[in-house]
Structure 1
Amino acid sequence: MSVVLMWEARAAAGRGGELLDWVREQQLGAEPVRREIFRAPQDRVLVLTWWDAPYDAELPELPEPEGELVTRAVHRWRFEPVP
């Protein structure tokens, strides 16, 4: 079984590049099967990680960025593939 963790944040105005750099530097403590990073207008950054684990497994997640790098709390969601 696999599960996908979604992490999405909106950087403070003009700091999208810094947020992307911060995301790329983060270590999870374990390596997911796959990890993809996306960006969108308004300095948004999205990270998807795929794990070979049950839906409710305890898995490492990206933390909240410190300081004033983001404009609001990070959004997190968990998904499972649909056959």
Structure 2
Amino acid sequence: MTVALMWEARAVAGRGGELLDWVRERSKQLPGQPLRLEILRAPQDRVLVITWWDAAYDAELPELPEPDGELVTRAVHRWRFESVS
């Protein structure tokens, strides 16, 4: 089964580049190797990370931590999905 983990954060205004750099660095430090990892950005200094894993839906998988509170405007949003096709 393939499980996708989504991680989304919104940087403090004007600090989207810093958040993107933070995500890039932390993504390299994940224990284990996902099948795929994609980093995306959007207006309002948002950064989204999606990792795909060959694992059961309820498997314990490595996730990015919360960034420093001074870098983001709110807690990170996280979602977990399983492949159905």
Q: With the length of structure 1 as denominator, give the TM-score of the two structures.
A: 0.97
- CA deviation profile, 1:32-81 (whole Å, cap 9, x unmatched): 01000000000000000000000000000000001400000000000011
CA RMSD of aligned residues (A): 0.6
SS at match of 2:20: helix
Gaps (5+ residues) in structure 1?
A: none
Q: With the length of structure 2 as denominator, give the TM-score of the two structures.
A: 0.95
Gaps (5+ residues) in structure 2?
A: none
Alignment partner, residue 40 of structure 1: 42
Alignment partner, residue 9 of structure 2: 9
- Within the candidate set 71, 76, 79, 2:78 is matched to 76
Q: How many Å separate the matches in 1 of 2:62 and 2:17? A: 24
